[in-house]
Structure 1
Amino acid sequence: MHKLISGIVGILLSATFASAQSFPDYDELYVNDFAFILSEEEEATIRNKLVELRKERDIEFTVVIIDSMFSYGHNGDIEPFATGLFNEWGVGDAGRNDGVIMLIAVNDRLMRIEVGSGYGTDKNIPMKNIIDTTITPQFKNGKYFVGISRGVDSVIRELTGVWPGEFDATSTERALNATKRTADRVGDWIYAIWTALAGGAYFLFRRWQRNRPRRCPNDRSKMERIQEDLDDDYLEAGQITEERVKSVDYDVWHCMRCDHRTIEGYKRWFSGYGACRSCGYKTLDSDTTILESATTTSTGLKRVDYACKHCHDSWSVKRVIPKQSSSSSSSGGSSFGGGSSSGGGASGSW
């Protein structure tokens, strides 16, 4: 009889929890920290990445942090709660079902990356790898922001093939960002040593490459480099101007036997000069004037004045300044796109 009563009580309690289960209402589309573990600055950092993702790829990705699922009447695995929350909010485009939720239950020490049904099962293993290798190791050390931020980066990279902030980046900018990510992972002091060694090695290589002996292409005899203060006699007027504005430095190598000369140019880093549309030399200077400042509701306008220091060609162009991003305007008063999930994604604990 006692066991029967206990069983009935258990069933009633389970039914009570099931009927009482609810989900939080979102305050915005990007970061909902109901556990208050992130600072405003940390929230803004994560939000900016998610705003950019939606702007560039039209993918809805939201981060949700709660104290415990028990607070919402759920006492069990995180998977059904995450799927229910996903479908309750309708994350993602209703036609593509490509939304993503990163759910962290702090006191339960559980998390899940839930993806829309449009991904099928293709993202289950990648999301599991991101959780196990990028996010939860940081959570174990109490570094919630670091884990979430890096996890968001990795998820965006998995979905789009591009890291946050690199949708319109040049190859040089992407290489620099990759170096910064390396710094985040190996530590600043190790990175400083690595950068110094790499920079020193590159400097020595460039110095060797520039100073190594040259052989004449005609008779293979050893060539001599003409002194810097005398090589202008062998340079074109545009090359002399490039040296004067310090955008390019030239070396002139001379063969004493056949009088052959080789001219080699070395571009200066961060010179600030571009290539002129008329003469082609790297002697083009520019100056920007803001005509109309951009706001969160309207674009702005700027004028860029170009002037070549060599051929003296000059022209101006007007360019639109994009609207300023605003977390309040981009998240407040909006709703998700009506997407759904069938339980795809991955979970983890720490």
Structure 2
Amino acid sequence: MIRLLAVLLFLPCAVLAQSFPEHTSVYVNDFAQILDDASETRIAQALEAVRDDTGVQANVVTISRRADYGDSASIEAFAKDLFNHWGIGNAARNDGILILVASEDREMRIALGSAYPPVWDGVALRIIDTQMLPAFRDGNMAAGIEAGTLATIDRIARPFTAGQPAPEAPTTPFDPTPWMFGGAVLLSILVAARGGLANLALRFRTCPACGKRGLHRDHTTLTEPTKLASGVQRIRTACNSCDYHRDVERTIPSLSSSGGGGSFGGGSSSGGGASGRW
């Protein structure tokens, strides 16, 4: 009984354990390698332009899944904590913006600095629903991220800094976060215990070779990143019943700052923004 109580007390602490990637750019950090070079360049230029014009620091971040960085109760918690860990935005104005996409988790969030009143959450939600999720569902994530970024600049960053009211402000949408909190915490415990939500879902997929259910995914670092060079990670999806496996390699960003490098201004978020899932 004592051991059981100790485990139950430890699990919440394990869930809270969290690590974050280090940014390599103050504009775009495409850790999941979703964006092609042309799209990334256009997005970075747009974010640089709005920073020059208004002072707003906005950053686009893609990751494969939250579990790669420890874990958190929800995409909302992860985005807020990453926002504050990096200090996105000016510390005096707190008008920074984070656009976060977790591709394998199939969820995303536009996180806003603490200076934005709640009415801007509705604008962020409208951008997600109209500009980003339709493209994501069609399998064109790069186009959705670019469209959502440009809309965020035009409909949030520029009007807010100009002192204009929130455009197209809808009735405050139902926020399921309070209702989902208890379930999210329970889900996070299961994720920590089972090795991640992605692997849990894979167990119900059928193997393309033998047709049996039960796949698993392993991440192996082949080359560690350094300050001068990027690294390589191998992601292997394999069957528990036969010899089938599929390997995908992805680049781990170098530890040095590159295009758009530098630092943020120490801004913070109190959790405002909106989320989307597809």
TM-score (norm 1): 0.49
Aligned equivalent of 2:58: 61
CA distance in 1: counterparts of 2:258 and 2:20, whole angstroms:
24
Aligned equivalent of 2:204: none
CA distance in 2: counterparts of 1:8 and 1:107, whole angstroms:
33
Residue 344, structure 1, aligned to residue 272, structure 2: yes
Residue 46, structure 1, aligned to residue 21, structure 2: no
Change beyond 3 A, Cα 1:10–1:42? farther
How far has the Cα of 1:329 moved from its partner? 7.9
Structure 2 gap ranges (5+): 160-256
Residue 97, structure 1, aligned to residue 94, structure 2: yes
Once the two structures are superposed, the pairs formed by residues 58-137 of structure 1 within 5 Å of their partners are 58-137=55-134
CA distance in 2: counterparts of 1:69 and 1:81, whole angstroms:
8
Partner SS, residue 115 of structure 2: helix
How far has the Cα of 1:133 moved from its partner? 1.4
Once the two structures are superposed, the pairs formed by residues 293-312 of structure 1 within 5 Å of their partners are none
Aligned equivalent of 1:319: none
Structure 1 gap ranges (5+): 163-327
Partner SS, residue 110 of structure 2: strand
How far has the Cα of 1:336 moved from its partner? 0.4
Question: Cα deviation per residue 1:239-271 (whole Å; 9 max; x = unaligned)?
Answer: xxxxxxxxxxxxxxxxxxxxxxxxxxxxxxxxx
Aligned equivalent of 1:307: none
CA distance in 2: counterparts of 1:133 and 1:7, whole angstroms:
47
CA contact (8 A) 1:51 1:330 kept: no
Partner SS, residue 118 of structure 1: coil
How far has the Cα of 1:10 moved from its partner? 4.1
Once the two structures are superposed, the pairs formed by residues 189-228 of structure 1 within 5 Å of their partners are none
The amino acid that maps onto 1:106 is S
Identical positions, percent: 44
How far has the Cα of 1:153 moved from its partner? 1.1
How far has the Cα of 1:14 moved from its partner? 2.9
Who wins on radius of gyration, i.e. which is larger? 1
Question: Cα deviation per residue 1:262-304 (whole Å; 9 max; x = unaligned)?
Answer: xxxxxxxxxxxxxxxxxxxxxxxxxxxxxxxxxxxxxxxxxxx
Give the length in aligned residue pairs. 181
TM-score (norm 2): 0.61
Partner SS, residue 49 of structure 2: helix
